[in-house]
């Protein structure tokens, strides 16, 4: 707006004065690093999220409206929404450059050709900063783009995954798989991929079994981090970030389970209220961890131990307090006969581990 006002003044022959100050340059320690407002950590199933990062601080963009003399206006934006727009633009460029690729391959190339940031945890950056130029030149794609290895209990623990390597090029490729460790964490983690070297024909895919083991005793709970590198010999390898967390399986994911009435008549207007706390927030390895549920089931049983059916099922349950109206009706909707019944509540964790189970008894008058 200031430049526009000066131009208008000069064109009209007016005298225009400008005050000039002195500037001083200073280094920006946050340049090239993940912004503090960007979410970090693992997904509920232990998969590395985010899978990649993109510029999202002080991005120049157009603003609505016009300035002096109809000149366009510009501003800057910050946030992960701005970074998502950058990745969306990179995806559009990649789709235009590689028209023969499907959505799964395009996603893999965007995530796996990202450039890692120095001194930044895998759980903050995924594979690194998006690089559309590298994605457009890649000859391989790998699924999954990041691994959900799971929570390791201690020495002798073992996890398994499968990598699907796909040749996107027009030539046969000699492929090599390597494992990169960026942080050892609470215990030594070892990977085994068989075969680690193979030749992949053009247009073909190959499934590679991946075995993960904990080789030593656990000290603390800090996660182990790194990346699986898959590439044609002589080319820049693709990067699939991984992380292994340590600790006992999530337990006690149901608390304060109660019924407001233990004896009642069937009623849609005045049901007995089942209240429970599902999931929890925990502080592990110096970070807050959301322990969510993959599934929460409530089933109805009679006094003879016969399952009458499913009353409620919730999926992807975040920690919190939940209430359910128990109306005294069967899963089919019919009023229950007089007698004693049981509610069985099962909370299935998102990570590998036993489900938490609770039961409550009530009477229909």
DSSP string, 66-127: E-GGG-EEEEEE-SHHHHHHHHHHHHHHHHHH-TT--HHHHHHHHHHTPBPPTT--HHHHTT
Residue 351 has, within 13 A of its CA and on its CB side, a CA count of: 26
Mean local confidence (pLDDT), 297-321: 96
Q: Looking at residue 2, what is its pLDDT?
A: 67
Task: Compute the average pLDDT of residues 215-219.
Answer: 84
CA dihedral 149, 153, 156, 162 (to 10 degrees): -10
pLDDT at 287 over 80: no
Q: Residue 158: name the closest of 166, 149, 167 by CA.
A: 149
DSSP secondary structure of 338-353: SEEEEEEEEEEESSSS
Give the pLDDT band (50/70/90) at residue 295. very high
Mean pLDDT of the chain: 90
Beta strand pairing status for 263-264 and 356-364? parallel
CA distances in angstroms from 71 to 18, 62, 68, 163, listed in the order given: 20, 11, 6, 53
pLDDT for 352 equals 72
Q: With 70 as the cut, is the pLDDT of residue 250 above it?
A: no
Structure tokens at 274: 């089942």
Give residue-wise pLDDT tens across range 336-354: 999 999 999 999 998 777 8
Q: What is the pLDDT of residue 47?
A: 85
Reported confidence tier of residue 249, pLDDT bands at 50, 70, 90: low
Residue 251 has pLDDT above 80, yes or no: no
Which bin fits 86, alpha (ψ -120 to 50), beta or left (φ > 0)? alpha
363 against 235, higher pLDDT? 363
pLDDT level of residue 272 (50, 70, 90 thresholds): very high
Stretch (H or E) spanning 198: strand 197-200
153: phi > 0 → left, psi -120 to 50 → alpha, else beta; which? Answer: alpha
Q: How far apart are CA 365 and CA 362, in angstroms?
A: 10
Map out the domains of the chain with their CATH numbers. Answer: 77-246 (2.60.40.10), 254-364 (2.60.40.4070)
Looking at residue 179, its pLDDT comes to 94
The model's pTM is 0.76
Gap between the Cα atoms of 79 and 55, Å rounded = 9
How confident is the model over 180-206, as pLDDT tens digits?
999 888 888 999 999 999 999 999 999
Give the DSSP H/E element, type plus range, for residue 277: strand 272-278
Mean pLDDT of 215-220: 84
Which is nearest to 360 in space by CA: 251, 256, 253, 258? 258
Residues of the chain with pLDDT > 90, as a percent, come to: 65
The mean pLDDT of 272-292, rounded to a whole number, is: 84
Tell me the C-alpha to C-alpha distance, in Å, between residue 113 and each of 50, 126, 134, 239, 336.
Answer: 14, 11, 6, 7, 60
| Residue given tokens 């727009």 in the structure block | 85
pLDDT digits (tens, 9 = 90+) for 18-46: 778 888 888 877 788 999 999 887 887 77
Per-residue pLDDT, averaged over 84-94, amounts to 96
């Amino acid at each position: 707006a200031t430049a526009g006002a000066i131009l208008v003044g000069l064109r009209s022959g007016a005298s225009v004065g400008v005050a000039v100050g002195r500037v001083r340059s200073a280094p920006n320690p946050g340049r090239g690093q993940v912004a503090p407002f960007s979410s970090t950590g693992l997904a509920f199933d232990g998969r590395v999220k985010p899978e990649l990062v993109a510029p999202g601080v002080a991005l120049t963009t157009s603003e609505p409206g016009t300035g002096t003399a109809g000149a366009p206006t510009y501003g800057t934006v910050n946030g992960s929404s701005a970074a998502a727009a950058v990745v969306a633009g990179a995806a559009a460029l990649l789709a235009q450059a590689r028209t023969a690729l499907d959505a799964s391959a395009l996603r893999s190339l965007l995530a796996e050709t990202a450039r890692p940031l120095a001194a930044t945890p895998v759980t903050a950056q995924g594979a690194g900063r998006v690089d559309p130029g590298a994605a457009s030149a890649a000859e391989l794609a790998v699924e999954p783009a990041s691994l959900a290895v799971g929570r390791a209990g201690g020495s002798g623990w073992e996890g398994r995954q499968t990598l699907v390597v796909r040749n996107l090029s027009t030539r046969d490729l000699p492929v090599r798989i390597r494992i990169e460790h960026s942080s050892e964490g609470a215990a030594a983690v070892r990977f085994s991929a068989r075969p680690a070297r193979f030749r992949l024909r053009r247009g073909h895919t190959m499934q590679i079994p991946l075995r993960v083991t904990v080789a030593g005793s656990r000290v603390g709970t800090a996660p182990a981090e790194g990346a699986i590198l898959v590439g044609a010999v002589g080319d820049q390898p693709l990067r699939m970030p991984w992380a292994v967390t340590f600790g006992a399986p999530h337990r006690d994911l149901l608390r304060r389970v109660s019924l407001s009435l233990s004896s009642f008549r069937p009623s849609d207007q005045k049901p007995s209220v089942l209240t429970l706390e599902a999931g929890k927030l925990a502080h592990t390895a110096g970070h807050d961890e959301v322990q969510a549920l993959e599934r929460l089931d409530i089933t109805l049983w009679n006094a003879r131990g016969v399952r009458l059916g499913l009353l409620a099922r919730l999926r992807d349950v975040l920690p919190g307090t939940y209430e359910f109206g128990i109306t005294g009706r069967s899963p089919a909707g019919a009023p229950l006969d007089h007698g004693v019944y049981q509610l069985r509540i099962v909370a299935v964790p998102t990570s590998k581990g036993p489900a938490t189970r609770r039961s409550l008894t009530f009477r229909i008058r």
